[in-house]
Structure 1
Amino acid sequence: MRPLLFAIIMVIAISCSQQKNDYQQVLHDPVLYSKVTGLLTEVITYDIFTPPVASRIYAYAHLAAYETMARGDSSYTSLKGQLKDFAGVPAPDAGKAIDYRYAALMSFMEVGRTLTFSKDMTDKIVDSLQALALDHGMPAEIKQNSEAYGIAVAKAVLGWSKKDNYAETRSAAKYTVPTDEGKWVPTPPGYFQAVEPAWRTIRTIALDSSNQFPPPPPCAFGKDPACSFYKITKEVQDTVSNLTEEQKAIASFWDCNGFKLNVVGHTMYATKAMTPGGHWMGITGIICKNQQADFNKTVYTYTTVSFALMDAFIACWDAKFTFNLIRPETVINKYIDANWKPFLQTPPFPEYTSGHSIISTAAATVLEHIYGKQTPFRDSTERAWGFADRSFETPRQAADEAGMSRFYGGIHYRSSVIVAREQGINVGNYVLSKLQMKKGQLASK
């Protein structure tokens, strides 16, 4: 088990050796929900899920928690009939006492356990939550009813998840790398095949289609030093060759490379890190805590952010595999400087548009709608990977920095970052306007 995962589980399970009668205080703590989300991030990282697949896991796990929570809080509305072909979740049996917040935790983890690989890790998380309920005095009948209902909701959500075309993408025909000049090809050092080339066929959460907010075509490829494409490529080369220490820190902080292939001499080894979506799950927890959101609002926030992340990845991947634009590293090495290297490792999929920029902006748009634009926070999500905290005055400021980090890293053209930012705003606002989750909710602007 990862040391951090074990440490967090021990924090959750602390004080279980002494019988208490404060289960509501313990299990209804919104910070607990954030900790459990963090534990799922640990599992997703350990299992090396790609960023798009990770976003799918978060979306369905939080949906299950949300639907469970909403059954116990009339101020929140079920998404039955709002999500494509989502028939809702079963009603609880009449007369049975249920702790809906504890049930939401169980529902969240049942989906997370089912959609990930490391069952030993997820089982330990569930065991620690059950121990909390038992050792803090939850009556046996309520505990049993709550666990059973949480699992029933999870099964309904999992049933819906099976219809999103994910299974079909696992067996989709192998992606054929384009041979046209200016199109994406695998990049060093691993020369991996394209990640999730069929992801645009995944059913969206709120968007009407994967290309509902299509970006304009990218700058036309060209090798002449006088043409626009050469100039935006040279800008990447020159920027990376003259990075400030602050720009290096920004690029490294937001790298979020789930499987980085390190090369030392003739030796190669891989290291893992959380996905970009996992980073924004961490930010969501920080903001919820800072804003003193209660348990239910915390679940609502995570769910809405996770929906924006999943739809943003689908929209981004639609653009990537529509245009199949070549990466700066390939252009520079082939036509300008064969020895040039980007500051960050180029990820294995087409360049246009920037995934970090669209998903970060979509998430920030949701967070600012819920908590206000002036929502300062200190981002500590990267401590486990040895990076210092970074402070932001607004979620949008963080999203803008995340997007520019890819330009500083030498893996995106500046224009791809800017265009993706607009995509992210559109996706975030559409999720907010399409899904009415909170009674009295104001439409997004």
Structure 2
Amino acid sequence: MGITFFAIIGCENQPKPAPIKPNEVAIAWAKLTLFITQHTPSNSPTFASRAFGYIGLTMYESVVHGYEDYHSLEGQLNELDSLPKPDTEKQYDWVLSLNAAQASILRDIYIQTSEENVLKIDSPERRIYEQYSKNLKEDMVTNSISFGKEVAQAIFEWSKTDGGHRGYLHNFDKEIIHPDFPGSWKPPLFAQSFSHHPLHPHWGENRTFVAVNAEVEDPEFLPYDTVPGSPYYKQFEAVYKKERELTRAEKESAIRWGDDPDVSFTPPGHSYYIATLAAESSGADLITVAKAYAQTGISVADAFIECWKWKYAFFTERPNTFVPKYIDEEWESFWRDPPFPAFPSPGMPYRRRRLPRP
């Protein structure tokens, strides 16, 4: 996870860590966000994508008013009509503001995380506070921390109305009626986590961060066809053939990117991680790094809403049901199925199916 992260949350009896630069504070909090995401129970890619959206946005909004060339996203994001503003008569340290805001939003979004992880949030918050509050007037320190917490609280309150609040409490809706048609998704026998019902079937109904993202047109769909040589059949056949010739390196790569629960920081976490690598290698300043995390978090959050909307509009089967039935009845895939429908590839236009509520 990187030197900066472990230097900040190291044990109390270790040597005192070197001072951390403002941009490194943002990066360290991003790394801790990835760690908490991976090690929080009942998490899912859907809920994690949402978390990155709000955590990244909070980082940006906690510092943006310190940079006259940048603007708050208040009034630009979907139903985000008002956010706290700094008092022009007061002084602020923006690193202290970011520090307080990130600690606050992490605790709120991942309220179900372990006590051990809460301590991992407390430790860097305290150490960054100790470094950046030195030689500052008490009222400036208080102003900065209060503003950061106010931003985090306002964003968290806004998050409660998006349809995904505490989504980990209802990962699987046992009351949904499964569409049943040729090629429809069926519960897998060999899966990352077995459930008779798919993960977050109504996630696609959540509020997007950017309003226009909810208006993206439906993709096209390959029509169901079990005839060998048809486009639909050939896609499953390609998976079947590839699985039979996987090299050891390819299997290890598949496991790495499989994103089983508690094994990695989830698919949207990979995007947040790549943003972290870019932030580290570029040496960008604090506001640039904070903006990058906000853009990345918002993008993956909205992408997952749209992706899940289409998964349940098409409710498409996966290779582990098609291949044994139509290609090789003894086939056992190396890959374990995730507990939700597949995403269809481009092809002929297709009319959407709505997943009915009870």
Q: TM-score, normalised by structure 2?
A: 0.84
Q: 1:211 to 1:200 in 2, by over 3 A?
A: farther
Q: 1:70 to 1:179 in 2, by over 3 A?
A: same
Equivalence map 1:130-169=2 (5 Å): 130-135=126-131, 137=134, 139=136, 140-167=138-165
Q: Does 1 or 2 have the higher relative contact order (CA < 8 Å, sep 6+)?
A: 2
Question: Do the aligned residues in 2 keep the contact of 1:221 with 1:229 (CA within 8 Å)?
Answer: yes
Question: Do the aligned residues in 1 keep the contact of 2:55 with 2:297 (CA within 8 Å)?
Answer: no
Which residue of 2 is the match for residue 32 of structure 1?
A: 25
Aligned counterpart in structure 2 of residue 84 of structure 1, from 50, 55, 78: 78
What secondary structure sits across from 1:243 in the alignment? coil
Which residue of 2 is the match for residue 238 of structure 1?
A: 241
Question: Do the aligned residues in 2 keep the contact of 1:213 with 1:315 (CA within 8 Å)?
Answer: no
Which amino acid in 2 is paired with 1:281?
Answer: Y
% same residue: 25
Question: Do the aligned residues in 2 keep the contact of 1:68 with 1:107 (CA within 8 Å)?
Answer: yes
Q: 1:198 to 1:149 in 2, by over 3 A?
A: same
Q: 2 CA distance for matches of 1:346 and 1:284?
A: 28
Q: 1:350 to 1:123 in 2, by over 3 A?
A: same
Question: Do the aligned residues in 2 keep the contact of 1:70 with 1:76 (CA within 8 Å)?
Answer: yes
Give ranges in structure 2 of 5+ residues lacking alignment. 349-358
1:221 aligns with 2:224: yes
Give how far 1:26 is off: 2.6
Which amino acid in 2 is paired with 1:177?
Answer: H
Which residue of 2 is the match for residue 363 of structure 1?
A: none
Q: 1 CA distance for matches of 2:65 and 2:82?
A: 11
Q: 1:167 to 1:40 in 2, by over 3 A?
A: closer
Which amino acid in 2 is paired with 1:178?
Answer: P
Question: Do the aligned residues in 1 keep the contact of 2:228 with 2:234 (CA within 8 Å)?
Answer: yes
Give ranges in structure 1 of 5+ residues lacking alignment. 260-271, 354-414, 420-445
Q: Deviations over 1:295-353 (max 9, x none)?
A: 11001011101111011111111110000111011111223223322222111111114
Q: 1:15 to 1:339 in 2, by over 3 A?
A: closer
Question: Do the aligned residues in 2 keep the contact of 1:113 with 1:123 (CA within 8 Å)?
Answer: no
What secondary structure sits across from 1:106 in the alignment? helix
What secondary structure sits across from 2:214 in the alignment? coil
Question: Do the aligned residues in 2 keep the contact of 1:257 with 1:274 (CA within 8 Å)?
Answer: no
Q: 1 CA distance for matches of 2:135 and 2:59?
A: 19
Aligned counterpart in structure 2 of residue 250 of structure 1, from 229, 234, 253: 253
Question: Do the aligned residues in 1 keep the contact of 2:74 with 2:82 (CA within 8 Å)?
Answer: yes
Which residue of 2 is the match for residue 124 of structure 1?
A: 120
Give how far 1:123 is off: 4.4
What secondary structure sits across from 2:98 in the alignment? helix
Q: 2 CA distance for matches of 1:188 and 1:182?
A: 16
Q: 1:300 to 1:168 in 2, by over 3 A?
A: closer
CA RMSD of aligned residues (A): 3.0
Give how far 1:90 is off: 1.3
Q: Deviations over 1:250-305 (max 9, x none)?
A: 3233222225xxxxxxxxxxxx3220111221111111111121111001011101
Q: Deviations over 1:151-171 (max 9, x none)?
A: 101111112111212249766
1:205 aligns with 2:206: no
Which residue of 1 is the match for residue 183 of structure 2?
A: 182
Which residue of 1 is the match for residue 34 of structure 2?
A: 41
Q: 1:182 to 1:128 in 2, by over 3 A?
A: same
Q: 1:245 to 1:97 in 2, by over 3 A?
A: same
Equivalence map 1:13-32=2 (5 Å): 13=9, 26=20, 28=22, 30-32=23-25
Which residue of 2 is the match for residue 340 of structure 1?
A: 331
- Structure 1 stretch displaced more, 304-313 or 42-51: 42-51
Q: Deviations over 1:6-34 (max 9, x none)?
A: x976511569899x9x99x6351x22322
Question: Do the aligned residues in 1 keep the contact of 2:59 with 2:102 (CA within 8 Å)?
Answer: yes
Q: 1 CA distance for matches of 2:289 and 2:107?
A: 21
1:307 aligns with 2:298: yes
Question: Do the aligned residues in 2 keep the contact of 1:8 with 1:39 (CA within 8 Å)?
Answer: no
Question: Do the aligned residues in 2 keep the contact of 1:40 with 1:112 (CA within 8 Å)?
Answer: yes
Q: 1 CA distance for matches of 2:95 and 2:141?
A: 11
Question: Do the aligned residues in 2 keep the contact of 1:199 with 1:318 (CA within 8 Å)?
Answer: yes
Q: 2 CA distance for matches of 1:202 and 1:179?
A: 25
What secondary structure sits across from 1:177 in the alignment? coil
Question: Do the aligned residues in 2 keep the contact of 1:45 with 1:274 (CA within 8 Å)?
Answer: yes
Which amino acid in 1 is paired with 2:162?
Answer: D
- Structure 1 stretch displaced more, 101-110 or 122-131: 122-131
Q: 1 CA distance for matches of 2:238 and 2:153?
A: 50
Q: 1 CA distance for matches of 2:135 and 2:11?
A: 15
